């Protein structure tokens, strides 16, 4: 009998609070969320409810005050900072509303870079970057710098960069929020295709109900826990 694969990401009873002066803000109060390989979860919640907090905890950028964060089968809370950083580089990709590409480097180099930081061979990294950018329809733009690309193209490069190291998990915060509706639609479609093809587990925070509807399921944060919207 084969054991089923673990979730790509599993938040278990996650708590996160911020202390400010004499008051405490309980933002996450025992949040649970499992994301399976190839699954795309829309995180739809009013601002101030804890979306960024949840993404930061899921992305190992912040440690929860209680609970556990599993990446694959691996518990991460007790790991030291160096090990969490290593895991973040390899297993987690981030896409933000603004692309944050390095302006002085080409599209190809921007996608090669995280692979070199991880220690991959230069030729392997270039081939993978070329394949990814081609998959995203950018084969003719490899040598363009970010300023020589349209907004939608820049965001597709940012998506390629996020998955360059073959992460288990992709975390995106309004990845198409800065694009016009038509371009957003196209970028979103390529993002979904890539996540499914690579069997990455994705959480995509968005205010766009129509895009959320195209994901596998929708969740929100209510009173500090993750609740299904379906
Ligand atoms: P969202 O992404 O849903 O807008 P956030 O996760 O950014 O919400 O923030 C949730 C709440 O926690 C907000 O009220 C915010 O002011 C507060 N908060 C976030 N980060 C901090 C921090 N580092 N220190 C104090 N309060 C914070």
Task: Give the per-residue pLDDT at 138.
Answer: 93
Query: Residue 141: is its pLDDT beyond 70?
Result: yes
Q: What is the pLDDT of residue 97?
A: 83
Q: How far apart are CA 230 and CA 41, in angstroms?
A: 11
pLDDT tens track for 70-99: 999 999 999 999 999 999 999 999 998 887
Does the structure show a pLDDT above 80 at 3?
no
Reported as a pLDDT band with limits 50, 70 and 90, residue 213 is very high
Average pLDDT over residues 166-170: 95
pLDDT of residue 5: 82
The predicted pLDDT at position 1 comes to 63
pLDDT > 90: percent of the chain: 79
Tens of pLDDT, residues 17-47: 999 899 999 999 999 999 999 999 999 999 8
Q: Average model confidence (pLDDT) for the chain?
A: 93
Q: Exposed, middle or buried: residue 171 (CB in 10 Å: 0-12, 13-18, 19+)?
A: buried
Please, which contacts does 127-133 make with residues 24 or more away whose CB atoms are closer than 8 Å?
128/164, 129/160, 129/164, 132/160, 132/163, 132/164, 132/194, 133/107, 133/108, 133/157, 133/160
Q: Residue 29: how many CB atoms within 10 A of its CB? A: 17
- 163 with 194: CB under 8 angstroms? yes
Residue minimizing CA distance to atom 15 of ligand 1: 48
Check if 51 has its Cβ closer than 6 Å to any atom of ligand 1: yes
Query: 107: CA distance to ligand 1 center in Å?
Result: 33
Residue 44 half-sphere exposure, CB side, CA atoms within 13 Å? 19
Asked if pLDDT for residue 64 goes beyond 80, the answer is yes
Question: If you measure from the C-alpha of residue 25 to the centroid of ligand 1, how many angstroms do you get, rounded to a whole number?
Answer: 9
Taking CA atoms only, the protein residue closest to ligand 1 atom 18 is: 18
Q: What is the pLDDT of residues 91-139, one digit of tens each?
A: 999 998 887 899 999 999 999 999 999 899 999 999 999 999 998 889 9
Q: Which residue has the tokens 């480097």?
A: 105
Q: For ligand 1, what atom is nearest to the CA of residue 19?
A: 25
Give the pair of three-digit tokens for residue 198. 């690579």
CA 39 to chain centre: 12
Pairing verdict, β 225-228 and 217-222 = antiparallel
Rounded to whole angstroms, the Cα distance separating 193 from 191 reads 5
pLDDT digits over 197-207, tens only?
889 999 999 98
Residue 124 corresponds to which tokens in the numbers above? 């392997």
Please, what sign has the CA dihedral across residues 154, 156, 158, 161?
A: negative
pTM over 0.85: yes
Ligand 1 binding pocket includes 52 (Cβ within 6 Å): yes
Cβ(45) – ligand 1 distance below 6 Å: yes
- What is the model's pLDDT at position 128? 95
pLDDT at 98: 82
CA–chain centroid gap for 37, Å, is 13
What percent of the chain is modeled with pLDDT above 70? 100
Looking at the CA of residue 53, tell me the nearest atom of ligand 1: 6
């Amino acid at each position: 009998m084969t054991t089923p694969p673990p979730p790509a990401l599993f938040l278990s009873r996650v708590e996160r609070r911020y202390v400010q002066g004499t008051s405490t803000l309980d933002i996450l109060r025992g949040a649970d969320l499992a994301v399976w390989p190839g699954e795309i979860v829309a995180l739809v919640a009013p601002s101030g409810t804890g979306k960024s907090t949840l993404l930061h905890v899921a992305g190992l950028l912040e440690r929860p005050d209680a609970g556990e964060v599993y990446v694959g089968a691996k518990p991460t809370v007790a790991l030291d900072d160096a090990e969490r950083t290593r895991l973040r580089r390899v297993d987690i990709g981030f896409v933000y509303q603004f692309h944050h590409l390095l302006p002085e480097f080409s599209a190809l180099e921007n996608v090669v870079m995280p692979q070199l930081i991880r220690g991959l061979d230069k030729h392997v990294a270039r081939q993978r970057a070329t394949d990814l950018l081609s998959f995203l329809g950018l084969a003719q733009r490899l040598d363009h710098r970010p300023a020589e690309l349209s907004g939608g193209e820049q965001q597709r490069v940012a998506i390629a960069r996020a998955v360059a190291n073959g992460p288990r998990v992709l975390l995106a915060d309004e990845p198409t929020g800065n694009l016009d509706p038509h371009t957003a639609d196209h970028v979103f479609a390529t993002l979904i295709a890539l996540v499914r093809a690579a069997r990455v587990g994705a959480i995509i925070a968005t205010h766009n109900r129509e895009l959320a509807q195209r994901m596998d399921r929708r969740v929100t944060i209510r009173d500090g826990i993750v609740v299904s919207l379906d």
